[in-house]
Structure 1
Amino acid sequence: MTATASAATGVWGRAEQQDFRSRVRGCLLGGAIGDALGAAVEFSSLADIRAEHGPEGVTDFVPAYGRRGRVTDDTQMTLFTVDGLIRAQVRRDTGAWHPPTDIHAAHRRWYATQRDWGPDERRQDAGWLAREEWLYAQRAPGRACLTGLADETMGTLESPKNPDSKGCGAVMRSAPFGLLVGWEPQLVFQLAIECAAQTHGHPTGYLSAGAFALIVHGLARGEALDGAVQRALAHLATRPGHEETTDALRHALGAVRQGLPTPERVASLGEGWTGEEALAIGLYCALVAEDVRHGLLLAVNHGGDSDSTGAVCGNILGALHGETALPPAWLAELEGRGTILELADDFAMEMTQGPALHGPAASAPAWLARYPRA
């Protein structure tokens, strides 16, 4: 039985649960590794990267924000997206079912980590993730993310925050929507773009996030990468303002046929500062990757937003191959690995065994303490 069939029937066998958990872990850990690899060279040109790190560029973690293996706002926001999705599932028991509101609340909790010195232990509704002290660190957060979440007003597709912004701050946090394997693709796409519009209101800013979520969704269901991309293109074609994102994906597919992958070929897809460019670069590097290590190093060795393109590529490769394909030496040094694993396993458990954890009649108190309904 595939992950799709298991989610549709509500019956998950042990093998299906293990496969799904591996893909969830792979997606979140792979994204974090790519993020950490690119963190130190995010604002460097390719020439500067080669001058400092040798002709091959970055080949391993290099110190960023005080030590090797540290992640940026890309991973921080991705984790809070996962937290919000779990909270949405838990709150469904109350009859309150509006996932964009739960994602917005989760991202507001992330915003607090960029403003406060540390967790507010008095907030019982914050949940466990917001009490992780290591997350209270500014790692070059994007302006649109900060301004979009600075007040309690939630941006919507009809009235988006930062309507002119098409930066990559929405796409880099949107892989978790694709892990909703029990949802139909059009619903995954819709949720991802609605949540992206909370900070990035330009069609390219939110449609690139939706396309990325659909690509991950196909992989989490066990589909091939090419097929997942084609489904994303089909959904994009139905939306106004899709042209830039569609063109970027098509350029990524075309670059695969143009010869051996090089940093210069990556540069032909852009620099990654905007949503469609970050998605195109991450996708291209995943498509041509000989293995996870090769793909991630290709994704960060360019003059542009290296941490975001590395994160996107890592999310894709991790969802495609599962956690065991990730380089163990990088996993061992990755900041927050324990937190990421804990959250990934909680998400997998919620998606596969949620009714056993909570329901309208009875719920596990420990689960509600971790993911409060408030």
Structure 2
Amino acid sequence: MGVEGRAGQEAYRSRVRGCLVGGAVGDALGAPVEFRSLAAIRAEHGPDGVRDLIPGADGVAVVTDDTQMTLFTAEGLIRAGVRADRGICHPPSVVHQAYLRWLATQELPGPPEQPSGWLAGQAFLYARRAPGNACLSGLAGGTMGTPEAPRNPDSKGCGAVMRSAPFGLIPWRSPEQAFDLAAECAVQTHGHPTGYLAAGVFAAIVRFLLDGHDLAGAVAATLPVLAARPGHEETTAALRAALAAAERPPSAEAVEALGGGWVAEEALAIGVYAALAAPPRAALLLSVNHSGDSDSTGSICGNLLGAEHGETALPPDWVAEIEGRGVILQVADDLAAEFTQSGQLHGDWGPHTRWKRRYPGG
């Protein structure tokens, strides 16, 4: 993506903001009906299912581990950029440290006295809202999974996919590079080929969207990248099913036919299908009104919509009610700044700038 000049940087920032905020909107929209069957959703909310955000007790629509981990992915990538200023940097290791900071939010009652970086000091991130078992167990013990020795080698749950949009938001990485980095970080918790390849696909699709592809074109451009990877068959079949379903009128039954979203390829397929099948508000509703992992499928759909159309395409009344909106926008703006204006943020080699205190390199 060209991000040169003021106009290019502003367009890029709008897509980054849209991607992260859109994911949070979909997450919050689907969270109250996760684990519910379509029949139960319709019985409680009417024949069309959920039609609006459902605020929590404090009046905001709460987000889950999907948004939490996405934010820590973005923070890890920013800190990898800072770390690169010091010489050798291995981004998956820096992202792994970010995921360990997320893991601490699930184990502690609140921020520690001296958190590492500003994001770990945000109290709302310490809410535990049904985090995925593979994410918890994969990060436990501190040993980082690698492509050669992945954690949870039999797991292909959707927990690696739902956090991987930020890998596609690095403008100077190619879609293929975004794919590979997302997959390499996915094996830290999900070692089954479908689990990590679906994460790579998601990142590559987001990266193609930044280049100006529409979503159908981005998926089509990603399929050959996926086909070159061993073990791609399940993910390829799921994406092709999503593309075929999008040629027919949208319906909850079409979503149900793609699966429940508990596993990686199904969650990706549902998110892609919904984003293809309808305009943003209707797409988000379509992505969560089904029997299954509604917050994850909603999050993936929202990430895609925001990356394709920018932040102003999202329903503003929903955006206004999201828990932690200010923090999400700050992470988005910081990521956009890091990858377009790092030279002005990092300063000369030597003394630490305020930016490096905000995002320590490591």
2:17 counterpart residue number: 25
- State yes or no: 1:129 paired with 2:126: no
1:200 counterpart residue number: 190
- Structure 1 gap ranges (5+): 7-11
- State yes or no: 1:277 paired with 2:269: no
2:356 counterpart residue number: 368
Query: Which of 43, 51, 55 in structure 2 is aligned with 1:59?
Result: 51
CA distance in 1, matches of 2:276, 2:38: 21
Counterpart of 2:212, as a letter, is: G
Query: How does 1:187-266 map onto structure 2 within 5 Å?
Result: 187-257=177-247, 259-266=248-255
Tell me by how many angstroms 1:151 deviates.
Answer: 1.6
Counterpart of 2:243, as a letter, is: L
1:297 counterpart residue number: 285
Structure 2 residue matching 1:271: 3-state secondary structure: coil
- State yes or no: 1:168 paired with 2:158: yes
1:139 counterpart residue number: 129
Tell me by how many angstroms 1:152 deviates.
Answer: 1.3
Counterpart of 2:102, as a letter, is: W
1:34–1:310 CA contact under 8 A, matched in 2: yes
When the two structures are superposed, what TM-score results if normalisation uses the length of structure 2? Answer: 0.97
Structure 1 residue matching 2:299: 3-state secondary structure: helix
1:9 counterpart residue number: none
Tell me by how many angstroms 1:358 deviates.
Answer: 1.2
Counterpart of 1:44, as a letter, is: R
1:5 counterpart residue number: 2
- State yes or no: 1:319 paired with 2:299: no
- State yes or no: 1:357 paired with 2:354: no
Tell me by how many angstroms 1:363 deviates.
Answer: 6.0
Counterpart of 2:111, as a letter, is: P
When the two structures are superposed, what TM-score results if normalisation uses the length of structure 1? Answer: 0.94
Provide Cα deviations, 1:165-191, integer angstroms capped at 9, x if missing partner. 000000000000010111122211110
2:316 counterpart residue number: 328
- State yes or no: 1:180 paired with 2:170: yes
Tell me by how many angstroms 1:256 deviates.
Answer: 1.5
2:40 counterpart residue number: 48
Query: How does 1:340-351 map onto structure 2 within 5 Å?
Result: 340-351=328-339
Distance 1:174 1:67, change over 3 A: same
Tell me by how many angstroms 1:5 deviates.
Answer: 3.2
Provide Cα deviations, 1:231-283, integer angstroms capped at 9, x if missing partner. 211111111110000000000011112x2110001111101000000000000
CA distance in 2, matches of 1:236, 1:265: 24
2:174–2:207 CA contact under 8 A, matched in 1: no
CA distance in 2, matches of 1:122, 1:75: 23
CA distance in 2, matches of 1:30, 1:96: 34
2:156–2:194 CA contact under 8 A, matched in 1: yes
Provide Cα deviations, 1:90-144, integer angstroms capped at 9, x if missing partner. 0001113100001100000000000011111234xx1000001111110100000
CA distance in 2, matches of 1:305, 1:66: 24
Counterpart of 1:73, as a letter, is: D
Counterpart of 2:306, as a letter, is: G
1:93–1:360 CA contact under 8 A, matched in 2: no
1:92 counterpart residue number: 84
CA distance in 1, matches of 2:56, 2:95: 28
1:110 counterpart residue number: 102
CA distance in 2, matches of 1:107, 1:239: 25
Identical amino acids, percent of aligned pairs: 63
CA distance in 2, matches of 1:122, 1:80: 17
Runs of 4+ in 1 over 6 A off after TM superposition: none
- Paired positions, count: 362
